[in-house]
Chain A
């Protein structure tokens, strides 16, 4: 609209402030709560009677509370907030109706709260990664629409028409979620399909959510921050285009596990697609390498560390996922901790780390409040080992468990006991992640509080300065 006089980045950042405070603040809070339930679910395996008299901390409730708070509470709001900032910044447009987007974010957080209360009171839907009861899912969907509409309007008001790769990813994420979420709500909760078709849809949804949506939202900011922080151009546009389309085309088919109780062609197509996702991820890694090669920028625990670590973890988890659908491997790893290890690596290792880096880059710009680098670094050194310590023992323990399960001479109880030691390590990882999440929350709340304190100070100073003038007149 104002192509002649480009809007200054500071004005764009200021227009993002209210929605981003709401989205990121809530996301950090949910992340801390999610880790608490994660630890509770994990402890159940150390001592099954620990929460026996406390219904909300039993595994069947604590585990879905962990998963849903992590995805709907933390991942989606943070991804959406980062996407909003990218679309506004790269399009050089102020955010359209920031108040309505913030309102949508508030409704979203209320939806998450309703959902987690539903889950904790035993009202889960029973679909993994979509345990939210119907009433909560509908709130989430509507509030997402409210946010997405105005984010899209922001995008369409851009003053720079040519697109940067990050914008494709952020936009695709904006459209992908309503599509999969509405399909899941309609076909699983409003007009449930019959029989095995339910699991097919539930897995398709979870696959798209974890393998496509998280990757889209994460890569949007990876492709932005890498060239930005290393102060070099992205290498290259066409490779990013290739990553984008192959991710969408192949990623959309993933999610149905090898040993699912479905006609073999469904899980096999899904396996093939899971293998093919290696293509975009390897292309991404080549972008990362080509873009950062020779750039003498120390990451020093700052956003660049998070972004690079996230990209490499995406490669690791994609390769693991592709291995785990090979029949010979799948017969060992299916029905073990291996899948949980993969999920932990994908969500905590790739997505959450990428988001942390992005938020630590964005938040000081939006609020004008500097974050102390040592606190960002502290978070990195809690979250990074936490993610590895959570995921790697589960992956290793899963293989151990699978080998023992396949051996008829080993009793089931021995198999369970053998996985205990790796599992203890993973509980330690979960604890580190929880501590990291706490630091993250304090960082974000600290920023928000010091922003409003500065505002209040200025307002107070102005008000006290005015009074003598008023008295005189």
Chain B
């Protein structure tokens, strides 16, 4: 059947199939396996998160994961960001850079944003601002800011809560000032200016404690 079968070199001598010795199994593979199984179980216990579907690497357990969760009931940066984007970003821009075209000053690194207390910021947001204002050494003349805070939907408590969220977001995002403003704080500030209808001016605001 095979042409040139003679040419096949070693086929004649070694065509017996190999056999396997039935010598007993050494013990070390079992020892190694048990040792590695022990190590594996220990390793899984350390890093595996015990089949909890919420635990993803690099977290190792549900308790470990919870350490990294934001505290419950604290500032919700996303809420402040959403309110900012809905109400302020039209002029001040998403990145807080302001808009020279309509005379809107920047918020980034602005001394008004970075001021130690939140009072001035709440007053501006509540009643708006007009007239010349100096921001970062540059004078802005033409812009007028409306009373955005007053026109937010909801009753006085809800408005105050939203203004607090916006103020915290603006202060943290653009002024790198951390702090938590409560709705009650805002409500107290707004109570002092509640009858006012005109926008604030720079001169008036500068009289307030920064």
Contact = CB atoms under 8 A, between A and B. Distances in A.
Interface in B1-49: 1-5, 7-9, 11, 14-15, 17-26, 29, 32-33, 36-37, 39-41, 43-44, 47-49
A228 B21 CA distance: 13
A234 B9 contact: no
Contacts of B8: 364-365, 368-370
Interface string B64-86: 00000000000000000000000
For the residues of A in contact with B, the DSSP-based class is: helix
A224 B18 contact: yes
A191 interface: no
Contacts of A238: 22-25
B22 A264 contact: no
A161 interface: no
Nearest to A366: B2
A345 B8 CA distance: 33
A261 B56 contact: yes
Contact of A228 (B14, B53, B54): B14
B55 interface: yes
A273 B24 CA distance: 26
A269 B51 CA distance: 10
Contacts of A364: 8-9, 11
A259 B37 CA distance: 22
B20 A90 contact: no
B192 interface: no
A275 B36 contact: yes
Contact of A279 (B29, B52, B58): B29
Nearest to B34: A279
Contacts, number: 148
A445 B60 CA distance: 55
A364 B7 CA distance: 9
Q: Determine the interface band of chain A, counting residues with CB < 8 A from chain B.
A: 35 or more
Contacts of A10: 1-2, 5, 11
Which of B11, B22, B39, B54 lies at the interface centre, i.e. has the most chain A CB atoms within 10 A of its CB?
B11
A227 to B, nearest CB: 4
B20 A237 contact: yes
Interface string A348-369: 0000000000000000110111
A269 B44 contact: yes
Interface stretch (A169-177, A209-217, A239-247, A420-428): A239-247
A364 B49 CA distance: 55
A454 interface: yes
Interface string A263-295: 111011101110110110011001000000000
24 contacts: A9-B15, A14-B2, A164-B20, A228-B17, A233-B18, A233-B19, A235-B23, A236-B20, A236-B22, A238-B22, A263-B53, A263-B56, A264-B60, A268-B48, A268-B57, A272-B41, A276-B36, A276-B40, A282-B32, A367-B2, A368-B3, A369-B8, A455-B3, A457-B3
Interface of A: 9-11, 13-14, 89-90, 164-165, 224, 227-228, 231, 233-242, 246, 258-265, 267-269, 271-273, 275-276, 278-279, 282-283, 286, 327, 364-365, 367-370, 450-451, 454-455, 457-458
Question: What 10 A-B pairs come out closest when comparing CB atoms?
Answer: A368-B2, A454-B3, A272-B40, A227-B18, A238-B25, A237-B20, A268-B48, A234-B20, A264-B49, A236-B23
